[in-house]
Amino acid sequence: MNRQTVIYKPIGLAGGALAGLVAGAAFKQLWRLASGSREAPHATDPTKGWTEILLAAAVQGAVFGLVKAAVDRGGAHAVKSLTGRWPD
C-alpha cells in the first residue's frame, strides 16, 4: 500500500460519512422546495403514486451521487496537495 492510499483512506472514510449527512440534508431541502411536502414519499406509501415515488428516488439518487463524487474528488485533490501524487 503506497503513501497516497494510506493518507486517502481516513480522508475517504470521513468524507463518505460527511457526504451522507450533507446529501441527506440537501435532498430534504430540495424536495421541500420542489414539492411543498416536508418529507419525501416512502416507496411503500399507499397514498402516493408511482410517478411521485420514482421521481423522489431518482432525485435522491442524483443528489447523493453528486455530493459523493464532489467529496471523493475533493479528498483526492487534498491528498495530491499533501503528497504531490494522486491517490490510487
What is the reported pLDDT for 62?
A: 96
Average pLDDT over residues 20-28: 94
Residue 9: domain span? 3-83
Considering its fold, how many domains does the chain have in total?
Answer: 1
What is the reported pLDDT for 8?
A: 81
* Residue 21 located in a structural domain: yes
* Residue 61 located in a structural domain: yes
Q: What pLDDT band is residue 79 in, cutting at 50, 70 and 90?
A: confident
* Residue 88 located in a structural domain: no
Tallying the residues shown for the chain, one arrives at 88
What is the reported pLDDT for 17?
A: 92
Q: What is the pLDDT of residues 60-74, one digit of tens each?
A: 999 999 999 999 899
Position 70, amino acid: A
* Residue 38 located in a structural domain: yes
Q: What is the pLDDT of residues 32-51, one digit of tens each?
A: 999 999 899 999 999 999 99
Q: Which residues contact 82 (CB under 8 A, 6 or more apart)?
A: 7
